[in-house]
Amino acid sequence: MYIAVTYDLFCGEPEELMERATETQPFTFYSGVGMALERFENEILATELNGTFDFTIPAEGIQTYRTLVEIDLSDGVHLFPGEEIPEGCVVKQNETYMEDDSIAFKVMHKRSVPYMSAFEVGTSFFNPRSLTENHYLTFGHNTLTYLKNYPCITATFAE
């Protein structure tokens, strides 16, 4: 199920506003696939449509988070995609994922993930003054930041 929710996230003592999901930029996720904290997802699913909610999620038991994109954190830490985010660091929504040890693998349609479809353009420039020739190579790639509307099958380990 696709869910869009608006909220204000407060952390610490005294409570400080850490993140706000607004009407124009709500937090969106698919339920049941690990895109949001399980406790958060359960609280949202228990709330009626257009209802209000107020709950606290303790820090204990929260899984490891890893980055989806290359980011620079405020304390000078540089992380590449897939690296673990240090505890206490704040990152934007939709830039992280939770590692789930119960998932064996995922099967996706080949068109759902735009693989590194690179292109190459070669040009050369002849400098008549110095009688030299420079060759330039330009290439591009896709950052894999989205999935198209194709089915995704998740295989998990049997318990």
Residue 147 has pLDDT above 70, yes or no: no
Percent of the chain with pLDDT over 90: 0
- Number of domains making up the chain: 3
Mean pLDDT of 136-159: 69
Residues 92 and 147 in one domain: no
> 99, 118, 146: which is the final residue of a domain?
99
Could you count the other beta carbons within 10 Å of the beta carbon of residue 30? 13
Q: Give the least confident one: 39-43, 52-56, 69-73, 112-116.
A: 112-116
Cα separation of 124 and 102, whole Å?
52
Residues 58 and 1 in one domain: yes
Contact 20, 93 (CB under 8 A): no
> 54, 75, 99: which is the final residue of a domain?
99
Contact 41, 27 (CB under 8 A): no
Contact 99, 64 (CB under 8 A): yes
What are the pLDDT digits (tens) for 69-83? 788 877 778 888 778
> Looking at residue 145, what is its pLDDT?
55
For 99, phi and psi rounded to 5 degrees?
-80, 130
Residues 6 and 33 in one domain: yes
Residues 43 and 77 in one domain: no
Residues 3 and 58 in one domain: yes
Cα separation of 71 and 92, whole Å?
10
Residues 42 and 11 in one domain: yes
For tokens 């190579």, what's the residue?
Answer: 137
Residues 75 and 94 in one domain: yes
DSSP assigned state of 156: E
Range of the domain at 129: 101-159
Residues 93 and 128 in one domain: no
What's the pLDDT band for 117 if we cut at 50, 70, 90?
low
Residue 41 host element (H or E): helix 38-46
Task: Output the pTM of the full model.
Answer: 0.41
Single-letter amino acid, residue 61 = G
Residue 130 has pLDDT above 60, yes or no: yes
Residues 107 and 93 in one domain: no
Residues 5 and 42 in one domain: yes
Mean pLDDT of 49-58: 79
What are the pLDDT digits (tens) for 11-27? 766 777 778 888 898 88
Residues 3 and 40 in one domain: yes
Residues 81 and 130 in one domain: no
> 62, 80, 113: which is the final residue of a domain?
62
Cα separation of 137 and 102, whole Å?
44
